[in-house]
Each structure stands twice: as structure tokens, then as C-alpha cells.
Amino acid sequence: GTPIINQPQVAILAVGAIKKKPAVLETEHGDVIAIRHMMFLSLSYDHRVVDGSLGGSFVRRVADYLEQWDLNREI
């Protein structure tokens, strides 16, 4: 869904549930269909405060962190 901004907030990030989904993986032996864990990230923001490029960069950075997460790393 689309997260709704509550004033005076200027942005909100919604995080969906992690689900198993089929996805195409590129391998050295060709493309294969595999089951991957996936989730949706949705960012809503006030364009008077946050530029679209900056908002997109933020979501991409969050996604990169989540995709590279090491479960064995201590917090």
C-alpha cells in the first residue's frame, strides 16, 4: 500500500512482509528460476521538502543494506 504522511512529518517508509517469491537469477550457466525472499519498500514524502532524486536514492540505499545483510554480524 501507500503510506500516508501525517503532518508535520515530511516522509514515511512502509515495509512489507517478507515472502518467498519466484525470481529469475542470472548465473554463469544461464538464467534460472529460484525462490527468493522478497519484500516491498514504499516511501511517501512531501515534494516541497524532499526531492524525488533524493527520495529514490534513500530507498535504493535502504534496499542495498537489506540485500547485503549478514545474519551472523553482531549488532
Catalytic site residues?
47, 51
Q: Residue 69 has which C-alpha cell?
A: 545483510
Q: Residue 58 has which C-alpha cell?
A: 534513500
What Cα–Cα distance (Å) separates residue 31 from each residue in 20, 25, 27, 67? 19, 6, 6, 20
